[in-house]
Chains A and B, each alone.
Chain A
Amino acid sequence: MQRSLHIEPLKCTGCLQCEMACSYHAEGAFNPSRSRIKVFTFHEAGRFAPYTCTQCDEAWCMHACPVEAITTDLDTGAKVVSESKCVGCKVCTIACPFGTINFHHVSGKVVKCDLCGGDPECAKACPTDAITWIDADWTGLERMRASAEKSLAGVAAS
């Protein structure tokens, strides 16, 4: 089964455990400034939102790359950057409508979420299940179930 990162912002408390897990996996240190997933705090609304690459099928970054450094990992569906091919031209960072691929000034390459090769650390580290790793074909299943439950209540009342 192919899986997908599933993010439910309402469950997020803004603790940044995901950013620590991500950066430790990718760079060997707890370093939120190097995390591929970012949690945004909307202070006045009292809301938090984790955000990362959704691994588009027809990925803008992939199509924009002039040296074909971005390819699809067929096992996970992740769009993966080849460090050896990437020339750091940043065209992909302009092409991506979501801002989830970014230049890393130390390596001179771009970095993005690669789903940790199929076992994403952010989902494992999230203490509130705001980030989960679920069936890629059924990311709507929980919401569907909740709606079904609601409709059931309507049936029972009639």
Chain B
Amino acid sequence: MSWTRKILRVNLTEGTCTPEPLNMEWANDYLGQRGLASKYLVEEIDPNCDPLGPDNKLIMATGPLTGTAASTGGRYAVVTKGALTGAIACSNSGGFLGNEMKNAGWDMIIFEGKSPEPVYLYVEDDLAELRPAGDLWGKTVWETDDMLHQIHQDPQLRVACVGRSAEQGCLYAGIINDKHRAAGRSGVGTVMASKNLKAVAIRGTKGVGNLDDPEGFFKAVNDAKAVLAENAVTGQGLPTYGTQVLMNVINGIGALPARNMRDVGFEGAENISGEAMHEPRPSDGKPNLTTNAACFGCTIACGRISTVDKNHFTVKNKPEYWGASGGLEYEAAWALGADTGVDDLDALTYANFLCNEDGYDPISFGATVAAAMEMFENGDITTEDTGGLELKFGSAEALTKCAELVASGEGFGKDLGLGSKKLCDKYKRPELSMTVKGQEFPAYDPRGIQGMGLTYATSNRGACHLRSYTVASEVLGIPVKTDPLVTEGKAELVKAFQDATALVDSSGLCLFTTFAWSMENIAPQIDAACEGDWSVERCLEVGERIWNMERDFNRAAGITGKDDRLPKRLVAEPVKEGPTAGQVNHLDEMLPEYYKIRGWTDDGEVTDETRQRLGL
């Protein structure tokens, strides 16, 4: 079975922690993690509730493979109504928190209400209680993590917490576990802080077992591990360069957006690439990259652990930043770098450290700074608004100062904490916000990769690459190569990726395995671990069910087909130069077909027939 069949309900208003049995009927229909937690959320909250009010709930959930020896089986998800978007949010994180929750005997933890005072949840196997967090409030993620280890005198404790940015109301604050792994997107940390919940500290010693078919499980898991090891992306590219292997590739095909997506192609891309992270710095002779690192159970190990030159202007005389810590992933390097026009690798790494240290999303942050820079250049924002800061594209000083201000929520940091959409609304340039449903774009320009336009427009949590990563097919040829500049067939591709991704996100596995794995590798692992028959077909149906359920939640929250739109820039301003010169995204060619394939109305509403087919 591999579910623990037990969930923990934490009522923050009442201060109670109550175990209850997992709804196995729902587990059979939604598997775990993203799907199952979304089902609980959809059933339990009013879609129109204030994301930052006590009526919203926040769910931390594992999947059935979390905590097992399946490669990458350590993931957990945070599901809530997102602070940044008002849409259903699901942010997924690796590190070591998910397996610890499972080892303590819990499939998921549901937080409801709002605590009158700052608290943290302490879990030690069956013991679960809320404890005062007055001393932790106002502290960074890194300080909170250290303090909890000290308070409990337990080096093996695992901690997930929010930093100061969340406390200050930054709308794209995440929840950080193990100091540098993040449930990063959509403002799930902002929701957590709004409940006066500072941290979750877990120690689990029960073990994860009860495999439905142990022999079959080890066979499926070992076969799948061999596939990862032999694949060029998961076996070599990702461990060596991390996701940053993409920087030069995406720039090379003319799909790397730059300077708030005003440009496509970044002249400084090489300087901030995965390859550059390996190069010894001229200043101190050491490379930016210290080592690669794995999350729990992961045999890929794409994580970047980096060190900034002690004499770099960002950390000079600040020894707290001289140690190694979570370095740049591709999306962060793009948002902090190409999108702001900054190509100083150590400056980006320092900004990334701050994102981890005070818990905010580097994608949304970088993209918001980029929008602010464009407005500064246009004169919409002046030094009067920024407190004297010269917000120029390409300024590493401006970028890192912005990162410091968002971390503490001071000065112009308050404005930047609004996210790109609300910031651009405030300064009356809404068309300069590069967002869908209020969430900032990641690092692929949909003018150069058509399918990503449809991906962004229809994503249930706002612009996001992790809902259907058609880059795999359109650029890397996985599972089959499609032409990135062609719209034909992309509706089908996007739907297939969305459904498969929803399933992977519900299993406890990492999406990055799908560079090498297809559902034929994944389903047998789930099937052997869980009771019942988990065929490829059933897995895909569960994925489709999850997608439609999320869509229905958003519709009830007032987010409809009208919001499946891209900013005008991406559909009307052609790429100026490079391999994709002259291109725009042709969303309108793909969207009607996509709705049709999904079994939705022409306005993008789920039909009763489709609901019935999927058992919704």
Contacts and interface: CB of A to CB of B under 8 A. Distances in A.
Interface of A: 13-17, 20-21, 23-24, 27-34, 43-48, 125, 127-128
B299 A46 contact: no
A20 B211 CA distance: 14
B206 A31 contact: yes
Contacts of B203: 33
Contacts of B68: 20, 30
A16 B297 contact: yes
A128 B299 CA distance: 8
A13 B207 contact: no
Interface string B529-573: 000000000000000000000000000000000000000000000
Contacts of A125: 69
A135 to B, nearest CB: 25
B205 A20 contact: no
Contacts of A21: 69
B209 A28 contact: yes
A134 to B, nearest CB: 20
Contacts of B299: 15, 17, 127
Nearest to A30: B208
A33 B294 contact: no
Contacts, number: 90
A3 to B, nearest CB: 22
A43 B205 CA distance: 23
Given A32-B103, A45-B324, 8 more contacts: A13-B303, A15-B296, A16-B297, A29-B206, A30-B209, A43-B324, A46-B307, A127-B229
Given A32-B103, A34-B205, A127-B225, A13 B69 contact: no
B207 A29 contact: yes
Nearest to A106: B205
B67 A13 contact: no
Given A24-B69, A43-B325, A34 B207 contact: yes
Contact of B207 (A23, A43, A47, A48): A23
A13 B293 contact: yes
B519 interface: no
A27 B129 CA distance: 28
B37 to A, nearest CB: 22
A51 to B, nearest CB: 14
A124 to B, nearest CB: 9
A119 to B, nearest CB: 14
Interface string B186-229: 00000000000000000111111100000000000000010001
B69 A43 contact: no
